């Protein structure tokens, strides 16, 4: 970093710290937030002002986010009570004459991980789409909370949009502004050991990286229910471990997580398993 850039960054961080302190954030926390902002901006090789805007305005925004986090903590306390986030009763799905899901009942509480397992063609993806509200059950009932994240097995991205543009698009659905979306997406990406490239469109990312992006988008708005359809197919071993750690930390934070998997050792860390069986043609 040039000397000018270093001075500019230092000044910006100081103004941010002062602005935060002025907005009632305690001194040590204000310093940590300023350090994090500088570190994140350096990930993008840009001066913090270019990423976050003027320090004073960003301080106001962070203070607002801190107040929202307190409200969120209250909400999480409610969800830690284990209230159900998803309940299926006798759900079946037919395509024409073929029954692909038969009489499935399950209940996922907040702070739980459930796994859907079964042979190829046993209806796992169909059931997850029913849970997400993307496919309608032929019979039975589905109740779910409103805030849901869904991570498909593949696809689901806009080929020309970059990772950051996806963060903004998905974040805006939750009322986040551009910076909040960028920060939330970048943090989640980092927890999967990924530093998004600022320029590449999704179509030019590797298969595994596209799936990391899908996982980030599934969790970017801190949903109370997160549905994941074997999204780890292209992950290397390290990312795969990070992925499960992320599921555990979502559970810890009070979300209900439902994951389709066919890898049996995954099941060690889950709270319950629902096994599906391929249906005979009727
Ligand atoms: N839109 C559809 N129209 C007709 N049949 C469908 C449709 N979607 C899925 N099916 C059929 O439903 C059955 C279950 O498919 P599904 O993809 O849910 O299974 P799966 O357990 O997720 O499979 P895999 O392990 O291979 O991913 C399959 O026989 C499939 O061909």
pLDDT at 269: 87
DSSP assignment string, 89-102: EEEEEEETTEEEEE
Closest C-alpha residue for ligand 1 atom 17:
125
Helix (H, G, I), strand (E, B) or coil at 1: coil
pLDDT above 70 as % of the chain: 95
pLDDT at 81: 63
pLDDT at 282: 56
**Complex ipTM more than 0.85, yes or no:** yes
135 or 280, greater pLDDT: 135
Contact by Cβ (8 Å): 112, 257: yes
Task: Please tell me the distance between residue 115's alpha carbon and the centre of ligand 1 in angstroms.
Answer: 18
**Secondary structure element (H or E) that encloses residue 258, with its range:** strand 256-260
Count of domains for the chain? 1
Adjacent-strand bridge partners of 201 = 162
Mean pLDDT of 9-20: 94
In the predicted model, is pLDDT for residue 73 greater than 80?
A: no
Closest C-alpha residue for ligand 1 atom 5:
95
Residue 71 has which token pair?
A: 């409200």
Closest C-alpha residue for ligand 1 atom 29:
121
**What sign for the dihedral angle of Cα 240, 149, 127, 134?**
negative
Closest C-alpha residue for ligand 1 atom 30:
121
First to last CA, the chain: 69
94 or 278, greater pLDDT: 94
Task: Please tell me the distance between residue 213's alpha carbon and the centre of ligand 1 in angstroms.
Answer: 24
Contacts 24+ apart (CB under 8 A), 17-21: 18/59, 19/55, 19/56, 19/58, 19/59, 19/60, 19/63, 20/59, 20/62, 20/63
pLDDT at 79: 61
Cα 268–Cα 271–Cα 272 angle in degrees, nearest 5? 95
Q: Which of 98, 115, 123 to mutate to test the pocket of ligand 1 (most atoms within 8 A of CB)?
A: 123
Task: Please tell me the distance between residue 170's alpha carbon and the centre of ligand 1 in angstroms.
Answer: 27
**Secondary structure element (H or E) that encloses residue 31, with its range:** helix 27-43
pLDDT at 1: 62
Inside any domain, residue 85: no
Query: With bands split at pLDDT 50, 70 and 90, how would you rate the model's confidence at 77?
Result: low
Inside any domain, residue 60: yes
Residue 1 has which token pair?
A: 């970093």
Inside any domain, residue 37: yes
Residue 171 has which token pair?
A: 């974040």
Condensed to tens digits (0 to 9), the pLDDT of residues 161-198 reads: 999 999 999 999 988 888 899 999 999 999 999 999 88
**Secondary structure element (H or E) that encloses residue 151, with its range:** strand 148-151
Mean pLDDT of 104-133: 95
Q: How far apart are CA 125 and CA 100, in angstroms?
A: 10
pLDDT at 92: 97
Domain that holds residue 69: 3-79
Condensed to tens digits (0 to 9), the pLDDT of residues 217-262 reads: 999 999 999 999 998 888 888 898 899 999 999 999 889 999 998 7
Mean pLDDT of the chain: 90
Task: Please tell me the distance between residue 193's alpha carbon and the centre of ligand 1 in angstroms.
Answer: 32
CA 164 to mean position of chain CA atoms: 14
Nearest of 85, 123, 121, 120 to residue 106 by alpha carbon? 85
């Amino acid at each position: 970093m040039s000397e000018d850039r270093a001075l500019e960054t230092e000044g910006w961080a100081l103004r941010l710290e002062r602005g935060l302190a002025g907005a009632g954030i305690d001194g040590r926390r204000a310093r940590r937030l300023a350090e994090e902002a500088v570190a994140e901006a350096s990930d993008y090789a840009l001066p913090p002002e270019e990423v976050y805007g003027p320090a004073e305005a960003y301080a106001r925004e962070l203070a607002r986010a801190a107040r929202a986090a307190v409200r969120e903590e209250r909400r999480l306390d409610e969800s830690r009570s284990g209230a159900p986030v998803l309940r299926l009763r006798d759900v079946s799905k037919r395509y024409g004459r073929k029954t692909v899901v038969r009489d499935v009942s399950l209940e996922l509480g907040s702070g739980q991980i459930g796994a859907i397992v079964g042979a190829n063609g046993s209806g796992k993806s169909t059931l997850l789409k029913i849970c997400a509200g993307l496919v309608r059950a032929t019979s039975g009932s589905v109740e779910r909370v409103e805030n849901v994240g869904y991570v498909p097995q593949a696809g689901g991205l806009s080929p020309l949009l970059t990772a950051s543009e996806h963060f903004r698009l998905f974040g805006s659905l939750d009322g986040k502004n551009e910076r909040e979306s960028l920060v939330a997406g970048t943090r989640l990406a980092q927890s999967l050991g990924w530093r998004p490239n600022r320029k590449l469109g999704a179509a030019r990312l590797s298969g595994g990286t596209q799936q990391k992006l899908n996982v980030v988008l599934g969790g970017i708005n801190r949903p109370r229910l997160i549905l994941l359809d074997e999204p780890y197919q292209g992950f290397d071993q390290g990312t795969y471990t990070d992925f499960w750690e992320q599921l555990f930390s979502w559970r810890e934070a009070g979300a209900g997580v439902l994951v389709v998997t066919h890898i049996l050792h995954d099941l060690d860390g889950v709270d319950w398993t629902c096994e599906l069986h391929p249906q005979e043609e009727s």
